[in-house]
Amino acid sequence: MSKRFKLSLLLILVLSLSAFLLFGCGGKTETQAPSAGNSEKINVAEGILPQTYKGTTINIISTSVIEKLIPEFEKQTGIKVNSLNLDYMATHEKLALEFASKKGDIDGFKMPYQWYGEFIGSLDAVLPLDELAQKPGFPDLVLDDYVPAALDTYGKYNGKLIGLPIIADVELLVYNKKMFETAGIKEPPKTWDEVTALGKKLTIDTNGDGRIDQYGFGLMGGRSAQAAGTFTNLYYAFGGTVGYFDQNMKPQFDSPAGQQALSLMAKDLKAIAPPDCNTWDHPEMINAFSQGQVAMGLVWPGGASASVDPTKSKVYNDVGFSLSPNNSSLLGGWAMGISRYSKHPEATYLFISWLTHPDTQVKYALAGGTPARVSTLNNLELVKKYPWFPTIGENLAVAKPFSKLPESEEIIGYMVEEANDAVSGVKAPEDAAKDLNSRTEKLMTDHGYYKK
C-alpha cells in the first residue's frame, strides 16, 4: 500500500459514506436491452433516445462539465444519474475501494489511462465495451471521428475497447504575444534550447525598481503531479524511451534523456522562472500567466480558457498557443468506463455513448470540456470561441503517454518527489535521476518483474 493511499484512506472512507448516503441503493432492476428487431430510432441530434431503462438509477464519477449535461439525458431517457465530482487522487482511491469491494456501487466513471494497468491489467475491473457496442438501441460510437492517439491510448487496452475518450488532454505551449513582440521575438520557440534563450530575454525588470517582475517561463516544479508531467514532457523531448523502460523492463530515468530533463528543470528553466516555482502546480502557472507575470509555459487545455477570459486574465487579448517544444508533448487524457460490477451496465453504456457522441460533444465543448473528436476540435464555431482547439490536435499527433503499468501511480509519485527535490535544490539533478531510477528498479524487483 503506497504512502499516498494511506494518507488518503480516511478521506476516502468519508467520501464512500457520503456516496452511500447520496446514491442509496440504486434504482430499479434494469430491464432487458432492445432486441435486434427494435425499430426505435436513435437520433442524438434531435434528442431521441430510448426509454428502455426509464426508472433506473446509475451512479457515476464525473466532472463539473459533464454534470451540466446530465439533466438533458435524464429528461430524454428517464434514467436518474447521480454524480460524484472528485479530483484525480480522490477518484483513484474511490475506485480502488470500489473494485476491492466488488459491490457495484459505482456504475460508470472517468479514468485516466495511467490506471489501466492497475484497474484492468491487474484487477480486471473495467467492463469491455465491444459487445455492448454491437447491440441495437444505442447511439453510434463513430469511432473513426476520434483523434487516433486519443482512441488508441484512452479507449483501448490489450486490443479491447474499454472506454470512450471524454477529455483530450495534452500539454500545449502558451505564450504572451505582446511580451514577445516587445522583446523583438517574432515567433514562439520550437525547441527547449530556444525556450531557455528566449526566456532569458523575457526575464526582466519592467518598472525600473531593480527587481525582476516579469519571468520568461512558468515552471510547474511543486510537489504535485505537474512536476512529473513536466519531467516526462522533457524526457520524451530529449529522446527518452516511451513508457520509461527498455525492452528488459529496466527503467531509463538515469539515461541521458532523464539526466538532461532534470537538469533543464533544476537549472535552466528555474533560472527564468519565479523564485517560488518549486511550489507551483497548474493553477499557479495559469494564474501567473494570466496576471502577466510570466511570458510562456506549459498548459493543459483545461487551463487555457482562463487565460483568455476577460474576467480572469489581464492578458486575454495577447495569448498565443503553440506546439510543445522539440515537436514532442505529453499525452494526458481521460475516458469514461463502466465497472465490471455495475448493476446497470446497459443504462450506463447508454449514458456514456450519448455523452461522447459527436452531437453531444459540441454541447460538452460549449460547457467548457475538451473534446477528443476531430469534428469537434475542427468545428469552426468552436474554434472561434476556443482558438487553442487546432493546437490540441497538432499536439495530440506527436504526444507520448505515461506508462500504463499497474505500478504507474507509484512511479509517478517517485517522479514528483525527485523532480521537486531537484528544482528545490535538495538534490543535484544527476542524483535525483539516479535515485528515481534506483527506486523504480527496486519497485519492479519487488513486484517480480526480473527473473532471478
Q: What is the CATH number of the domain that holds 432?
A: 3.40.190.10
| Helix or strand run (H / E) with residue 411 | helix 408-424
pLDDT of residue 439: 98
pLDDT in tens, 76-100: 999 999 999 999 889 999 999 999 9
> Do residues 103 and 182 share a domain?
no
35 conformational bin, left if phi > 0, alpha if psi -120 to 50, beta if neither: beta
Answer with the one of 314, 347, 371 that is the final residue of a domain.
371
Look at residue 9 and give its three-state secondary structure. Answer: helix
Asked if the structure places residue 320 within a domain, the reply is yes
Q: What is the pLDDT of residues 389-401, one digit of tens each?
A: 999 988 998 899 9
Flag whether pLDDT at 13 surpasses 80: no
Residues 297 and 186 both lie in one domain:
yes
Do 89 and 211 lie in one domain? The reply is no
Asked if residue 124 is part of any domain, the answer here is yes
Asked whether residue 83 falls in the same domain as residue 232, the answer is no
Least confident of 1-10, 113-122, 148-157, 238-247: 1-10
Q: How confident is the model at residue 28, as a pLDDT?
A: 41
Cα 373 from Cα 430, distance rounded (Å): 40
Residues 63, 136: one domain?
yes
Please enumerate in sequence order all residues whose Cβ is within 8 A of that of 33, keeping only pairs 6 or more positions apart, or say none: 52, 135, 136, 137, 346
| Helices vs strands, H then E, count in the chain | 20, 12
Res 402 pLDDT > 60: yes
Instruction: Please list, residue by residue across 96-120, b when 16 or more beta carbons sit within 10 angstroms of its beta carbon and e when fewer do.
Output: bbbbeeeebbbbbbbbbbbbbbbbb
> Quick one: 419 and 305 in the same domain?
yes
Same domain, 219 and 82: no
- The pLDDT-based confidence of 441 (bands split at 50, 70, 90) is very high
Q: Which of 193, 173, 203 is nearest to 275 (CA)?
A: 203
Average pLDDT value over all residues in the chain: 90
- Structural domain includes residue 22: no
> Above pLDDT 90, what percent of the chain?
84
Q: List the domain range (segments joined by +) for residue 255.
A: 172-329+406-446
Q: Give how many domains the chain has, as a whole number.
A: 2
Assign 30 a pLDDT band (cuts: 50, 70, 90).
very low
Instruction: Give the mean pLDDT of 93-108.
Output: 96
pLDDT at 19 over 70: no
pLDDT confidence of residue 3: 43
Q: Tell whether 193 is covered by a domain.
A: yes
> pLDDT of 258-306, one tens digit each?
999 999 999 999 999 999 999 999 999 999 999 999 999 999 998 898 9
pLDDT category of residue 47 using cuts at 50, 70 and 90: confident
Kindly tell me if the per-residue pLDDT of 342 is higher than 70. yes
Q: Which three cell numbers stand for residue 318?
A: 495577447
Residue 161 pLDDT > 80: yes
The answer to whether residue 414 sits within a structural domain is yes
Q: Is the predicted pLDDT of residue 451 greater than 90, yes or no?
A: no
Q: Are residues 134 and 248 in the same domain?
A: no
As a whole-number percent, the residues of the chain with pLDDT over 70 amount to 91
Which of 354, 371, 388 finishes a domain? 371
Q: How far apart are CA 118 and CA 122, in angstroms?
A: 5
Instruction: Quote the cell numbers at residue 45.
Output: 441530434
User: Cβ–Cβ contacts within 10 Å for residue 135, how many?
Assistant: 14
- Residue 28 located in a structural domain: no
Q: Based on the fold, state whether residues 144 and 180 are members of the same structural domain.
A: no
Give the pLDDT of residue 1: 46
CB atoms within 10 A of CB 424: 16
- Do 357 and 420 share a structural domain? no
One domain, residues 270 and 419: yes
Q: Are 88 and 112 in contact (CB under 8 A)?
A: yes
Give residue 149's pLDDT band: very low, low, confident or very high (50, 70, 90): confident
Residue type for 21, please? L
Cell numbers representing residue 54 in the block: 426509464
Q: Give the per-residue pLDDT at 41.
A: 52
pLDDT computed for residue 48 by the predictor: 81
* 30 is a domain residue: no
- Are 263 and 351 contained in the same domain? no
User: What angle do helix axes 358-366 and 345-355 make, rounded to 10 degrees?
Assistant: 70
Q: What is the mean pLDDT of residues 24-37?
A: 38
Q: Would the pLDDT of 131 be above 90?
A: yes
Helices within 185-330 (DSSP H only): 192-202, 225-237, 256-263, 270-271, 282-290, 301-307
Residue 9 lies in a domain: no
pLDDT above 50 for 16: no
